[in-house]
């Protein structure tokens, strides 16, 4: 992650959160464990602009959390396009559905509660963009579920792939399961001939892989 003062500079020179996104940020910090999982204004705006550039018909998000990134991406969708978002934490459903309804995008956001490893295979059709931001242990499994269902030229994004710097041996005391999973995932993508990829040092790192 970049130094805090540099990140603050990035925030200051990025379009500010509107009232709804600011409310999601505030309520997440007040009521939800691990609020740092929130995408935030820089990553959120990046996702919105990427969707506007790609003009996808179908977007899949694995890991809704409190809905910030889903709403940002849905704001970039053209008329008739859809975002499907999945989260395993049913305790957040009431909060997330309230935010989605307040966004006015409930017709374009399809929100599911459950295990993505079971739900994704039951969703028919291909995707133009997939955003993976869920449990790190299953990153490689989520990738395997979707890589052959990405249309040519489509994008897979995975969040937190720098893992607070613990991808570097000198920044960790031991190799825990999450760090091991991230290291395996990053290597897997870099070696997959089906995609071309780049690591973006946005917040905690985003892996971007484009289907050939």
Phi, psi of 82 (to 5 degrees): -135, 145
Mean pLDDT of the chain: 96
pLDDT mean over 53-58: 98
- Point out which residues pair with 62 in neighbouring strands: 86, 132
Phi-psi region of 92 (alpha: psi -120 to 50; beta: other; left: phi over 0): alpha
- Helix then strand then coil, % of the chain, to nearest 5: 50, 20, 30
Q: Please report where in the chains the tokens 């295979």 appear, as a residue.
A: 121
Q: Please report where in the chains the tokens 């003009």 appear, as a residue.
A: 55
pLDDT single digits (tens) 95-150: 999 999 999 999 999 999 999 999 999 999 999 999 999 999 999 999 999 999 99
Domains in the chain, ordered, with CATH? 4-211 (3.40.50.150)
């Amino acid at each position: 992650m970049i130094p805090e003062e540099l990140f603050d500079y990035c925030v200051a020179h990025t379009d500010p959160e509107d009232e709804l996104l600011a409310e999601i940020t505030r309520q997440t910090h007040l009521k939800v464990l691990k609020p740092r999982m929130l995408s935030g204004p820089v990553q959120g705006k990046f996702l919105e602009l990427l969707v506007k550039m790609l003009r996808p018909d179908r977007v899949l998000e694995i890991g809704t959390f409190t809905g910030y990134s889903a709403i940002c991406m849905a704001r970039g969708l053209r008329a008739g396009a859809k975002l499907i978002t999945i989260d395993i934490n049913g305790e957040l459903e009431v909060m997330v559905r309230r935010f989605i309804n307040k966004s006015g995008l409930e017709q374009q956001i399809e929100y599911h509660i459950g295990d993505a490893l079971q739900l994704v295979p039951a969703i028919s059709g291909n995707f133009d963009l997939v955003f993976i931001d869920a449990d790190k242990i299953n990153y490689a499994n989520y990738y395997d579920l979707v890589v052959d269902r990405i249309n040519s030229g489509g994008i897979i994004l995975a969040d937190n792939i720098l893992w607070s710097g613990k991808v570097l041996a000198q920044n960790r005391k031991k190799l825990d399961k999450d760090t091991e999973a991230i290291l395996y995932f990053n290597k897997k993508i870099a070696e997959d001939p089906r995609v071309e990829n780049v690591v973006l040092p946005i917040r905690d790192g985003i892996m971007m892989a484009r289907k050939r």
